[in-house]
Amino acid sequence: MPEITEVLISYEPAPTAARPFWIDLLPIVLIGAIIYFLIIRPQQQERTKHVSLIDSLVKGNRVVTSNGIHGRIVEVRGDTVLLEIAEKTRIVIDKQAVARRIQPESKG
């Protein structure tokens, strides 16, 4: 009878079929797609919306800055705006600091 060591030494594993390389890359591609659609794409859409808001600022708009300051635009000057936050109180802020525009309330 052959000894156990001879059997173990002569043992060769059954040949396995080689997997295509793209199967190994599939989880990485799926994670990349998930990151893109859950994080990157919404940020791009939000950025596009903010850029259109900044480009549409005109005199008389009521806005809120990223710091929470409410005011009315008195003048648009290049990359800045002159904002009236109280009667006879005006400040100059960057356009990028405008977070949102306040819609005028309808009277009725």
pLDDT at 16: 75
pLDDT tens readout for residues 6-45: 766 776 777 777 788 888 899 999 999 999 999 999 999 9
For the chain, the first-to-last Cα distance in angstroms comes to 104
For residue 95, pLDDT beyond 90: yes
Query: With the C-alpha atoms ordered 69, 70, 74, 75, is the resulting torsion angle positive or negative?
Result: positive
Give the 3-state DSSP-derived string for 3-19, with helices as H, strands as E and coil as C. Answer: CHHHHHHHCCCCCCCCC
Q: Which residues pair with 81 in a beta bridge?
A: 76, 93
Q: How far apart are CA 67 and CA 86, in angstroms?
A: 16
Query: With the C-alpha atoms ordered 75, 81, 55, 98, is the resulting torsion angle positive or negative?
Result: negative
Q: Domain extents for the chain?
A: 21-56, 58-108
Domain 58-108 in this protein, CATH class: mainly beta
